[in-house]
Amino acid sequence: MAKSSADDEELRRACEAAIEGTKQKIVLSIRVAKSQGIWGKSGKLGRHMAKPRVLALSTKSKGQRTKAFLRVLKYSNGGVLEPAKLYKLKHLSKVEVIANDPSGCTFTLKPECCSATMDYAQ
C-alpha cells in the first residue's frame, strides 16, 4: 500500500522547523495543492496553476488547556517550508468536501473572519 503524505516523517520535521519559534507541536501534516477553483479570476496562465502547500495541524499546551491550530505552509524559492496562514480551529467555520470530485480528496476551507474560501486537493 502506498504511503500517504500524512505518514511522512520528513514532512513533519520540515513543518516543525518552519514553526520553530512557537511553542506548538505538529500533530498531522499533509501535502496539498491550492487552487482557485472554477470561480477564480481570469488572468495569466501561471495564476491558474495549482500551488503546492502543506496543511499542518498543531497544538499548543498552556497548563491544562490545549489549543489547536491549522497552519498553511508554503514552499519558498529555495524549497524550504515557511508559514503562510494560521487559523485557530475555533474560528474555522466550514470544512467542506467537494462532492463532484471523483478522487474524494478535494476540500474547501472557509474561515469565519472573511468571505474567502480556499480549495485544496491532496
CATH of the structural domain 5-121, one choice from 3.40.1440.60, 3.30.450.40, 2.60.120.620, 2.30.29.90: 2.30.29.90
* Predicted pLDDT at 18: 92
Domain coordinates in residue numbering, the chain: 5-121
pLDDT band (50, 70, 90) for residue 57: confident
With residue 62 as reference, give the H or E element that holds it. strand 51-62
H, E, C per residue of 24-42: CEEEEEEEEEEECCCCCCC
CB 16 within 8 A of CB 9: no
In the three-class reduction of DSSP (H, G, I as helix; E, B as strand; rest coil), residue 98 is classed as coil
With residue 110 as reference, give the H or E element that holds it. strand 106-111
62-83 per-position pLDDT tens digit:
888 888 888 889 998 888 999 9
pTM: 0.68
Q: Which residue has the cell 519559534?
A: 21
Nearest CA-CA partner of 117 in 57, 39, 50, 64: 39
Q: Which residue has the cell 487552487?
A: 35
Is the pLDDT confidence value at 114 over 60? no
